[in-house]
């Protein structure tokens, strides 16, 4: 079911207020208009990892580098400020634009969850990806 911008804002507000193991961000374009959101969630300080989520709902903003920029910022925040070792995510295998974006940001393919999602009348694989702090260290 499509979500309205006000519904997304309200959900984000509720999550941010109630979940201390998450960091939520609203993505703004150059005109300071909200175009999506990004989060680090399931932050696990013991194992030093977290899951990354990204959603750019404003189609006019697609393909303009916002996703790559936001992922880079969040990953650096996770490694440098939260002292995490790994950031991971899952992405549907038919979302080629997102997969390319994650690869550009340094994420590696770790595995495939076969027939994980049923959408548009068919099953779709979900890809598990991650980046380690050591992957980004310049030698």
Catalytic residues, by residue number, are 102
Q: Are residues 86 and 130 in contact, defined by beta-carbon separation less than 8 angstroms?
A: yes
**CA-CA distance, 125 to 82, in Å (whole number)?**
31
Q: Are residues 73 and 65 in contact, defined by beta-carbon separation less than 8 angstroms?
A: no
| SS3 of residue 12 by DSSP | helix
Burial class (CB in 10 A: 0-12, 13-18, 19+), 1: exposed
Alpha helices in the chain (DSSP H): 5-18, 66-80, 96-104, 133-136
């Amino acid at each position: 079911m499509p979500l309205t911008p006000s519904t997304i804002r309200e959900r984000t507000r509720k999550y941010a207020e109630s979940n201390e193991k998450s960091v939520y961000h609203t993505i703004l374009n150059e005109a300071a208009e909200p175009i999506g959101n990004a989060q680090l969630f399931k932050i696990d300080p013991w194992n030093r990892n977290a899951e990354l989520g990204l959603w750019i709902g404003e189609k006019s903003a697609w393909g303009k580098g916002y996703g790559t920029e936001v992922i880079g910022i969040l990953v650096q925040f996770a490694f440098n400020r939260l002292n995490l070792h790994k950031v991971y995510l899952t992405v549907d295998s038919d979302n080629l634009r997102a997969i390319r974006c994650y690869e550009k940001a340094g994420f590696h393919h770790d595995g495939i969850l076969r027939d994980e999602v049923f959408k548009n009348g068919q099953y779709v694989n979900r890809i598990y990806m991650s980046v380690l702090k050591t992957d980004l260290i310049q030698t």
